[in-house]
A and B are shown apart, each in its own frame.
Chain A
Amino acid sequence: MQIPASFDYVRASSVDNALELLARYGPESRVVAGGHSLLPMMKLRLARPEWLIDINDLYELDFILRDGNKLRVGALTRHTTLLESDEVAALFPIVRDAERVIADPTVRNRGTIGGSLCQADPAEDLSTVCDVLDAEAVIRGPGGERAVAMSGFHRGPYETAVGQDELLCELRFPIRPRAGSAYEKVERRVGDWATGAAGAAVTLAADGTVEDATVGLTALGLDRTVAEAAAVLRGKRPAEDLFTEAGRLAAAACDPVPDQRGPVDYKRHLADELTRRVLRRACARAAQMAARMQEG
Chain B
Amino acid sequence: MQISMTVNGSEFTSEIEPRVLLVHYIREVLGLTGTHWGCDTSNCGTCVVLMDGQPVKSCTVLAAMAAGHDIRTVEGLATGGTLDPVQQGFMEEHGLQCGFCTPGMMLTARALLDKNPHPDDAEIRQAISGQICRCTGYATIVRSVQWAAAHPAGTGWDGADTAVPDVAPETADTDAEVKA
Chain A residues in the interface with B (C-beta under 8 A): 1-9, 11, 32, 35-36, 39-40, 43-44, 52, 54, 56, 80, 103-107, 109-110, 190-191
Contact = CB atoms under 8 A, between A and B. Distances in A.
B18 A105 contact: no
Contacts of B55: 105-106, 109
A107 B42 CA distance: 8
A34 B158 CA distance: 38
B13 interface: no
B64 interface: yes
Contacts of A44: 40-41
Interface in B26-43: 37, 39-43
B126 interface: yes
A40 to B, nearest CB: 5
Given A6-B17, A106-B48, A43 B40 contact: yes
For B39, B126, B130, the residue with the greatest tally of chain A CB atoms inside 10 Å of its CB is B130
Interface string B37-60: 101111101001000001111011
A107 B40 CA distance: 14
A109 B41 contact: no
A7 B1 CA distance: 11
Contacts of B179: none
Nearest to B16: A9
Contacts, number: 87
B62 A39 contact: yes
Chain A at the B interface: SS class: loop
B129 interface: yes
B21 interface: yes
A7 B62 CA distance: 12
Given A39-B42, A52-B62, 4 more contacts: A35-B60, A35-B62, A36-B42, A191-B129
A1 B62 contact: no
Interface of B: 1, 17-19, 21, 23-24, 37, 39-43, 45, 48, 54-57, 59-62, 64-65, 67, 108, 126-127, 129-131
B148 to A, nearest CB: 18
Contact of B62 (A2, A9, A103, A191): A9
A190 B18 contact: no
Contacts of A103: 130
A35 B58 CA distance: 11
A54 B64 contact: yes
A36 B19 contact: no
B40 A1 contact: yes
Given A2-B40, A39-B42, A40-B41, A105 B65 contact: no
A9 B43 contact: no
17 contacts: A1-B21, A1-B23, A3-B21, A9-B18, A11-B67, A32-B62, A35-B60, A35-B61, A35-B62, A36-B42, A36-B57, A40-B40, A104-B129, A106-B55, A106-B57, A109-B55, A110-B57
A192 to B, nearest CB: 9
B126 A105 contact: yes
Given A54-B65, A107-B130, A191-B43, A40 B18 contact: no
A9 B57 CA distance: 20
B129 A110 contact: no
Given A36-B42, A40-B42, A43-B40, A110 B19 contact: no
Contact of A105 (B19, B67, B130): B130
B62 A105 contact: no
> Which 6 pairs of residues, A with B, have the shortest CB-CB distance?
A104-B130, A9-B18, A106-B130, A2-B40, A109-B54, A9-B64
Contacts of A11: 64, 67
Nearest to A8: B18
A106 B19 contact: no
A104 B54 CA distance: 13
Contacts of A1: 21, 23-24, 37, 39-40, 59
Contacts of B40: 1-2, 40, 43-44
B54 to A, nearest CB: 5
A153 to B, nearest CB: 25
